[in-house]
Homo-oligomer: A and B are copies of this chain.
Amino acid sequence: MRQRYQLKQRPQRSRSYESDEHERGACEWCEYALVITLATILLIGVSALTIFWTFFYREGYGWADDIPEKQFNLHPTLMVAGFITFSGFSVLLYRICRCFRRIYVKLLHAIFHALAFPCIVIGFLAVLDFHNKKGINNFYSLHSWVGFVAMGLFGLQYAVGFFSFLLLLICNKGTANFRASLVPIHAAFGILTFVLGVCACLTGLTEKALFTLGAERYSGLPDEGVIINAIGVAIIAILAVVMYIVSRDKFKADSREMRASVDL
């Protein structure tokens, strides 16, 4: 009787366990797909919105001497592209690409930061040249100070990352311990750089709204004011998604893969 009971029970238990596992796996993949989709929409959307704002309200881009404002327009667009879109994709891909070999993920991480690099440099030169043409002082505002620190950290992080995690692979085994000890420092400073980029963009958008619209028109919240605020809100949403991805251990490559990554 007991044997029959056991025979009857076993398949049921096993089915229920499998179903639980299956459900958990499905849930995890669902969250994974949702986060990737949301992040992609936001990261492309914020740059698209900035370009739309420039063409619809600010007369587009240029580098001629007659309309320096068109040259200034390169500054917000390229800085948002560099500090938010490309840097955001770079962090995102590094954390969620679990199916590729780690060396390819590292290369993707480096390539997206390499795309951000010229954006930040040209975006910086555009505003510097605009200020000089218009006779405006440089580096007086809080926005410029925050942006300067963010750019410095970005450059330093790129140099250290490129040298340590790609060039030092030439001497793979000899540098494994050094590279492994550098990973948490590189990650912490990387997130700090991203957050500083966000702070620079938000203070920059606030400045731009007050310079262009003026305090009185801005307080009436015209269409352009809504667009500027929407760009800021999209940047905050990206920050929230990136911090969620970074804080979730589930999105992290497991320790076995990490060891292999250090060896590659």
Within 8 A of B (CB), among A199-218: 199, 202-203, 205-207, 209-211, 215, 218
Within 8 A of B (CB), among A124-159: 136-137, 140-143, 145-146, 149
Q: Does A146 lie within 8 Å of B184, measured CB to CB?
A: no
Within 8 A of B (CB), among A220-264: 220-221, 225, 228-229, 232-233, 236, 239-240, 243-244, 247-249
Q: How far apart are the CA atoms of A179 and B79 in the complex, in Å?
A: 41
Chain A 164-205, CB-CB to B under 8 Å as 1, else 0, gives: 000000000000000000001001100110011011001101
Task: Give chain A's interface residue range (CB within 8 Å of chain B).
Answer: 35 or more
Q: Does B218 lie within 8 Å of A140, measured CB to CB?
A: yes
A149 cross-chain contacts in B, Cβ below 8 A: 236
Closest Cβ of chain B to A142, distance in Å, is: 4
A239 cross-chain contacts in B, Cβ below 8 A: 192, 195
Closest Cβ of chain B to A152, distance in Å, is: 12
A247 cross-chain contacts in B, Cβ below 8 A: 184, 187-188, 191
Closest Cβ of chain B to A16, distance in Å, is: 19
Q: Does A202 lie within 8 Å of B243, measured CB to CB?
A: no
| Identity of the chain B residue whose Cβ is nearest the Cβ of A139 in the assembled complex | B221
Closest 5 CB pairs of A and B: A188-B247, A142-B232, A140-B221, A137-B219, A203-B206
